[in-house]
Structure 1
Amino acid sequence: MPDVAAEGLRVLFCGINPGLLSAATGHHFARPGNRFWPALHASGFTPRRLHPHEEHELLSYGLGITNVVARATARADELSREEFTEGGRLLEEKVALLRPHWLAVLGVTAYRAAFDERKAAMGPQERRIGGVPVWVLPNPSGLNAHYTPPALAAEFGRLRLVASPED
């Protein structure tokens, strides 16, 4: 899956890995039950709800998308520890090159696995990746029942307030 990215973005959102539908369509967060696009809009990052096929419009808002691991799977728990470790290393290189203002990792478990940060929690992290501050957000997958859509949007909104202080 190609990244939706450019240098100097306000926020580079980083998913765990593409799902099978995303890989088949070539669009990030393509599964209808995924709550990334609704949370992005409800939190104020975008003026309207975008659809996966409109993902390149994110660039006009200073936003982008990448993944920790490139391999598509039905579920993130199909990924190995080695894939997460290597994905974290490659992500660090990518972020150092693109220099977004924030890296937002979507899923605390993925962040912990990719960067060996066993005690990481939601929100801003002490660690910088590629010299860039990191914010961990909940995984927007419909399988993540711990966060309702309003709670997910509220977490995204916390980052938006920091990443877009003029809004």
Structure 2
Amino acid sequence: MPDVVADGLRVLFCGINPGLMSAATGHHFARPGNRFWPVLYRSGFTPRLLKPSEQDELLSYGLGITNVVARPTARAEELTAEEYREGGRLLELKVARLRPRWLAVVGVTAYRAAFGDRTARVGPQERTVGGTRVWVLPNPSGLNAHWTTGTMAQEFARLRAAAEES
């Protein structure tokens, strides 16, 4: 699954791992029930609703996408603790190389597993990766019923405002 990245992004979004549809299409958050693209638009990160196939347009807005773990699975629960830890280590190296202003990990459970922070909550984190600030966002999967599209868009918008200030 190719990353959508460049040096010095405003925000580097980091998914958990590619789903099977994303792996098949080569597009991040490609499953129709995933709310990432609508939430990105509703929060003001993009001026229009992008399709997964338009993911490269994110770079023109200073945004990018990567994943904690590269291995595609049907469900994130199929990943091992070791895969998360190794993914966190590799993500730190990637962030140090690319130097985005913000790393936005999409999924609090993935963040906790990758970085060994059992108490992390959605929102800005104390931890930095090099000089990059970290924000944990809710997982936009349709399986995450705790968050609606509207409440997720509000949290994404909080990050957008912080990214505009920094």
Q: Same fold (TM over 0.5)?
A: yes
Deviations 1:102-134 (A, max 9, x none): 000000000000000010001000011233110
Where does the alignment leave 5 or more consecutive residues of structure 2 unmatched?
none
* Structure 1 partner of 2:93: 93
Q: Secondary structure of the equivalent of 2:38? A: helix
> Structure 2: which amino acid aligns with 1:131?
G
Count of matched residue pairs = 166
* Structure 2 partner of 1:78: 78
> How big is the alpha-carbon RMSD for the aligned residues of Structure 1 and Structure 2?
0.9
Residues 1-167 of structure 1 aligned to structure 2 (within 5 Å): 1-165=1-165
> Structure 2: which amino acid aligns with 1:45?
F
Q: Secondary structure of the equivalent of 1:100? A: coil
> Structure 2: which amino acid aligns with 1:94?
K
Deviations 1:108-164 (A, max 9, x none): 000000000010001000011233110000001011001001001001000001102
Q: Distance in 2 between matches of 1:139 and 1:148?
A: 11
Deviations 1:23-60 (A, max 9, x none): 00000000000000000000000000000000000000
1:84 Cα shift? 0.1
> Structure 2: which amino acid aligns with 1:108?
V
Q: Percent of aligned positions with the same letter in both sequences?
A: 75
Where does the alignment leave 5 or more consecutive residues of structure 1 unmatched?
none
TM normalised by structure 2 equals 0.98
Q: Distance in 1 between matches of 2:26 and 2:130?
A: 27
Q: Which runs of 4+ in 1 moved over 3 A?
A: none
Q: Distance in 2 between matches of 1:130 and 1:74?
A: 32
Contact 1:93 1:130 (C-alpha < 8 Å) held by counterparts: no
Q: Secondary structure of the equivalent of 2:165? A: coil
TM normalised by structure 1 equals 0.98
